[in-house]
Structure 1
């Protein structure tokens, strides 16, 4: 009988045949996005080691500048992706927009990589924040110019877009070297509490002393070698990748075919560390496969303890078959801020425990919600239609401190942020009033004044149910104000238009040198509530 602690645990024991379709899909890089940040123009190239096609970031980021790391640092790595960076000297928040082919509600591994390499010849490493969606992913702290930092997170987006943003915290110019996205099996790494940020991923008793990734790993996870003289290494003489059956986690053969077991000179087998943040909560994924053909009088049975509590066991790894033990519930540090993992053999076991690989993640409790997707798509369409050059990047409303210029959003605990105010006055707009404005159904305030808009005033403006202020003055509109808008102006809508739009169908706009002099007309009650954003608050002024 399997004993369990208070955590909900599962041992995954399926064979490789269950994964066949998933592995084939991953092998052809379906849905992979690989971006070499800072490479020139619209270029792309195939990486010799992985076979990945790395793209320029020109179609993923709108701001920033391309820079090469100093020549001396190129000699330290053969990874071409780290030879250049994209830096962001302007603006507080600068973002990449990813649109993976699998879309929303898919589990993705997102990896951002950084090597400063003294690209700006200042020999001063920066420190900045990294966001995914509306929430802080992690702080990027770089120790030395040659340090390579990898940040990974397992994330399920609620929209078809994923925004990865760098935020200047006043401690140097943010930059990025590589941005990668890999779709995962949706049945793996499941957390109902939030995204999972990688802490460590270990390949125990590695025989190669190198980081294992694609093509060995179909999901392109980075497995770091873990080597110690305290434990005894185990490995197989097997050469065929299919010799060890895999489960849905698909740990690569190069990783699962080695393991550590307890050395005869030690009576215990454990891992422990002190967490830098005592509030951190951890998820564990431990991968096992018995590598020795046990004799009839041999047995390998052990229990796994975390912080003194039985986490799983008794457990006996199947021969040449990958098993993964994991939990759905996060594990907190002990009273000293420590995490302690122990593998203890049972009394009747003739052999000590073993472990092949381990992944450790930190739970990220993302509290800020992203903007309603109908509003996001509408405002993006407006941006494209008018070719707006504003620094509109990332989520339009969230986090509140970085919401887009000219927008005001509603925030509450029960609903997604909605755009309630759009101010595009004096923005150089040309063409007709965009029909995408009709999709901003919660809009209360719309200011399109002092542009070069033409065509008729559209009927759909009268159909915006929450609209209370509309300013169209100072444009080149034709025709007359629709009767429905005039009717709305009698029932609470404050409407500001040029005088020539009133009265008859033959009205025409004044010339450019006189349109701004037209005092226009304002309908409705002469109380214009103009929303202004100040320190994140909504202020109202009655005119």
Structure 2
């Protein structure tokens, strides 16, 4: 059995709370390992709901201690990873009281986790460049009555993606939407199509045309971020040539953030004919940010899709993304997919800690003066 003891990993999947490891479920050859060797605290538990994916059927609960940490060993420091933590409460404790708690990576606040009674696994995802060869992922009790738990923990090396990302700021995933697609491809795709193990949430939109390619092969496109063909084969399109696509991105409960928008464009239905042009302008909160052409799907061309990344965009609570026809375009605007991230501010986290220490020190000083 492979464990964390003495091993170093390039990619890692942990089925938290499981007693035996599970072979890879795709041709990536990455098995689902047990907790053994990655953490010394906590208790193995089983969710009461039985019709869940295997990685959510078990979980590790932490009824003792304020902070419990996984130690994840990797081959090298300064590698770019996609980290994903999954939580499925499943009423494992019979209390019908899903907890809330904090999730940290290397001492940096990753997320304030809120679980639920839902039948769906709740995921929190992060793009992170490691500072050391061993990464610490910790669950921290927020309230005395809330018991942290975790169902799955994944880490995938994505060294050749998101090349605009620097090594100082982890990026928290707000959404990754496959526009125009139905729910049939919402789950994580096979490694043949999704080289970075991303999960794309399908979303049809009734106020736009939902279009799709006649046939979609299970493969990925060569180029920036390697988008999957099952994603790029779908799109939303404005109903008329001069209309725009309007999307509102909600960043609550966070207010002021630096946001990162990654937009994917490709015509999946061969709209481009002789003397036709397709290009769009991209606005955020009425500020023009970029212009791009939209190429046709064609497996024999290198320039078969375009990616537009906008960063770091100051956002206060929400952002309005508008995709409008560019001057001279003879076709209505469309969009295949979009990823939205925000920075996870280490300095902000340290500021909160410093502020707390200051308040505690001030409180102790007042007590000493009174007594």
**What TM-score does the superposition give when structure 1 sets the normalisation length?**
0.58
Q: C-alpha separation between the residues in 2 aligned to 1:309 and 1:353? A: 18
- Aligned pairs for 1:44-55 (under 5 A) are 44-48=21-25, 52-55=30-33
- TM-superposed deviation, 1:159: 0.8
User: Kindly tell me: are residues 187 and 264 of structure 1, through their superposed partners in 2, closer, same or farther at Cα, counting changes over 3 Å?
Assistant: closer
| Larger Rg over CA atoms | 1
Corresponding residue to 2:295 among 298, 308, 318: 318
Cα contact 2:241–2:325 (8 A) shared by 1: no
Tell me, yes or no, if structure 1 residue 225 matches structure 2 residue 202.
yes
Q: C-alpha separation between the residues in 1 aligned to 2:331 and 2:344? A: 38
Cα contact 2:243–2:324 (8 A) shared by 1: no
- Aligned pairs for 1:106-117 (under 5 A) are 106-117=79-90
Corresponding residue to 1:104 among 38, 53, 77: 77
Q: What CA deviation, in whole Å up to 9, does each residue of 1:15-49 have, x standing for no partner?
A: xxxxxxxxxxxxxxx82200000012xx2112546
- TM-superposed deviation, 1:268: 2.4
Tell me, yes or no, if structure 1 residue 198 matches structure 2 residue 169.
no
Q: What CA deviation, in whole Å up to 9, does each residue of 1:315-343 have, x standing for no partner?
A: 2122221221113x311225xx3300111
Q: C-alpha separation between the residues in 1 aligned to 2:243 and 2:229? A: 29
Cα contact 1:135–1:367 (8 A) shared by 2: no
- Aligned pairs for 1:165-314 (under 5 A) are 165-170=138-143, 171-186=145-160, 188-192=162-166, 194-207=169-182, 208-215=184-191, 216-241=193-218, 245-264=221-240, 267-276=243-252, 277-291=254-268, 292-313=270-291
- TM-superposed deviation, 1:237: 2.5
Q: What CA deviation, in whole Å up to 9, does each residue of 1:483-519 have, x standing for no partner?
A: xxxxxxxxxxxxxxxxxxxxxxxxxxxxxxxxxxxxx
Q: What CA deviation, in whole Å up to 9, does each residue of 1:434-493 have, x standing for no partner?
A: xxxxxxxxxxxxxxxxxxxxxxxxxxxxxxxxxxxxxxxxxxxxxxxxxxxxxxxxxxxx
Tell me, yes or no, if structure 1 residue 123 matches structure 2 residue 100.
no
Cα contact 2:100–2:115 (8 A) shared by 1: yes
- TM-superposed deviation, 1:184: 0.3
- TM-superposed deviation, 1:118: 1.0
Secondary structure, in 3 states, of the residue corresponding to 1:330? strand
Runs (5+) with no aligned partner, structure 2: 1-8, 298-303, 356-362, 365-371
1:439 equivalent in structure 2: none
- TM-superposed deviation, 1:267: 2.8
Cα contact 2:16–2:55 (8 A) shared by 1: yes
User: Kindly tell me: are residues 225 and 54 of structure 1, through their superposed partners in 2, closer, same or farther at Cα, counting changes over 3 Å?
Assistant: same
- Aligned pairs for 1:480-495 (under 5 A) are none
Q: What CA deviation, in whole Å up to 9, does each residue of 1:401-421 have, x standing for no partner?
A: 9xxxxxxxxxxxxxxxxxxxx
Q: C-alpha separation between the residues in 1 aligned to 2:179 and 2:250? A: 20
- Aligned pairs for 1:493-508 (under 5 A) are none
- TM-superposed deviation, 1:275: 3.0
Corresponding residue to 1:161 among 134, 141, 158: 134
Q: What CA deviation, in whole Å up to 9, does each residue of 1:298-329 have, x standing for no partner?
A: 1112101011111101x2122221221113x3
Secondary structure, in 3 states, of the residue corresponding to 1:333? strand
Tell me, yes or no, if structure 1 residue 340 matches structure 2 residue 340.
no
Q: C-alpha separation between the residues in 1 aligned to 2:342 and 2:327? A: 33
Bigger Cα displacement from structure 2, 30-39 vs 160-169: 30-39
Q: What CA deviation, in whole Å up to 9, does each residue of 1:175-232 have, x standing for no partner?
A: 0000000000245253335110000001111253522433221110111101111111
Q: C-alpha separation between the residues in 2 aligned to 1:195 and 1:189? A: 13
Q: What CA deviation, in whole Å up to 9, does each residue of 1:133-179 have, x standing for no partner?
A: 01111111123253421000000111111000000111410000000
- TM-superposed deviation, 1:117: 0.7
2:10 equivalent in structure 1: 31
Secondary structure, in 3 states, of the residue corresponding to 1:217? coil
- TM-superposed deviation, 1:362: 1.2
Superposition RMSD in Å: 2.9
Tell me, yes or no, if structure 1 residue 141 matches structure 2 residue 141.
no
User: Kindly tell me: are residues 69 and 159 of structure 1, through their superposed partners in 2, closer, same or farther at Cα, counting changes over 3 Å?
Assistant: same
- TM-superposed deviation, 1:289: 1.5
User: Kindly tell me: are residues 104 and 174 of structure 1, through their superposed partners in 2, closer, same or farther at Cα, counting changes over 3 Å?
Assistant: same
Q: Which has the higher contact order (CA 8 A, sep 6+)?
A: 2
Aligned residues: 339
Cα contact 1:204–1:356 (8 A) shared by 2: yes
Runs (5+) with no aligned partner, structure 1: 1-29, 371-398, 402-534, 537-543
- Aligned pairs for 1:22-101 (under 5 A) are 31-40=10-19, 43-48=20-25, 52-70=30-48, 73-75=49-51, 77=52, 79-101=53-75
Secondary structure, in 3 states, of the residue corresponding to 2:55? helix
